[in-house]
């Protein structure tokens, strides 16, 4: 199997009406965060089914798929990379991780980030150099900044919150809504495991947090606490 053959299969399954809806949903219009993205109109469950039959697609072909102009092809490639990373040994994991970092220009919408960063970047940095997260957080690319935040979901699930809280504070003034929402989401995940840690962060920083971040961060708090931070 080759990337070209996979792309042929994807084009055969295209649905123009679904593609138009996806383009609106992911803001592919001029000025949107996904400006210029091209959709085929294939559902995520269908892509997951395809991925199960493509687990042995060579890495170089998977990366070629990742470089496609089609959103669904890139998502399929990232599903394959994440699955391959989970099954790989140390040497191959390093290769996948490095390849991912070299291709972040193609991880260019929130669903692409969310399906890959917690499953590749987070696990790879669990025992590694966390300074990479700070470098990603300082990137001019909003998607690399979101990658940094979403990678910490892997740590959160293991009861480690320091990286999340550090990056959240670092990015609190970020102007991009997709970063603001990611901060709020990760803070909410921290709060689900350690409410005191979330409340401590909110007590210190709520006054300068964007509304979107606050809404996401407080979504699982008791109603009285939520009103306290949101007002009203």
In this prediction the pTM is 0.96
Mean pLDDT for the stretch of residues 171-177? 97
The set of residues, in sequence order, having a beta carbon less than 8 Å from that of 213 and lying 6+ positions away, is 172, 180, 181, 183, 184, 187
The torsion angles phi and psi of 87, rounded to 5 degrees, stand at -90, -10
| CA pair distance 25, 74, nearest whole angstrom | 17
Confidence of residue 23 (pLDDT cuts 50, 70, 90): very high
Confidence of residue 196 (pLDDT cuts 50, 70, 90): very high
198-214 pLDDT, tens digit per residue, is: 999 999 999 999 999 99
pLDDT at 232: 58
128-162 pLDDT, tens digit per residue, is: 777 899 999 999 999 999 999 999 999 999 999 99
62-103 pLDDT, tens digit per residue, is: 999 999 999 999 999 999 999 999 999 999 999 999 999 999
pLDDT at 217: 98
* Pure H helices in the chain: 3-12, 16-25, 44-52, 59-66, 71-87, 90-102, 110-116, 121-124, 131-137, 142-151, 153-156, 162-170, 177-193, 195-205, 211-217, 223-230
The answer for 231, left when phi > 0, alpha when psi is -120 to 50, beta otherwise, is left
The set of residues, in sequence order, having a beta carbon less than 8 Å from that of 15 and lying 6+ positions away, is 40, 41, 42
CB of 120 within 8 A of CB of 85? yes
| CA pair distance 144, 48, nearest whole angstrom | 24
Query: What is the set of domains in the chain, with CATH numbers?
Result: 1-107 (no CATH), 117-222 (1.25.10.90)
Confidence of residue 127 (pLDDT cuts 50, 70, 90): confident
DSSP letter, residue 36: T
């Amino acid at each position: 199997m080759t990337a070209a053959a996979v792309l042929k299969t994807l084009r055969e399954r295209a649905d123009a009406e679904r593609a138009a809806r996806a383009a609106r949903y992911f803001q592919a219009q001029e000025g949107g965060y996904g400006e210029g993205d091209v959709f085929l109109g294939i559902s995520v469950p269908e892509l997951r089914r395809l991925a199960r039959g493509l687990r042995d697609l060579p890495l170089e072909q998977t990366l070629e798929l990742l470089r496609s102009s089609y959103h669904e092809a890139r998502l399929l490639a990232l599903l394959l990379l994440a699955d391959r990373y989970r099954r790989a040994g140390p040497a191959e994991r390093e290769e996948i991780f490095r390849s991912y970092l070299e291709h972040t220009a193609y991880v260019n919408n929130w669903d692409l980030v969310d399906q890959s960063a917690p499953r590749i970047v987070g696990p790879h940095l669990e025992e590694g150099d966390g300074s990479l997260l700070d470098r990603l957080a300082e990137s001019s690319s909003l998607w690399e900044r979101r990658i940094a935040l979403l990678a910490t979901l892997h740590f959160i699930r293991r009861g480690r919150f320091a990286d999340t809280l550090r990056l959240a504070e670092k990015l609190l003034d970020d102007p991009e809504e997709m970063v603001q929402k990611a901060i709020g989401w990760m803070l909410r995940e921290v709060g689900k495991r350690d409410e005191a840690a979330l409340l401590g962060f909110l007590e210190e920083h709520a006054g300068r947090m964007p509304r979107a971040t606050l809404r996401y961060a407080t979504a699982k708090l008791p109603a009285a606490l939520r009103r306290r931070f949101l007002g009203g």
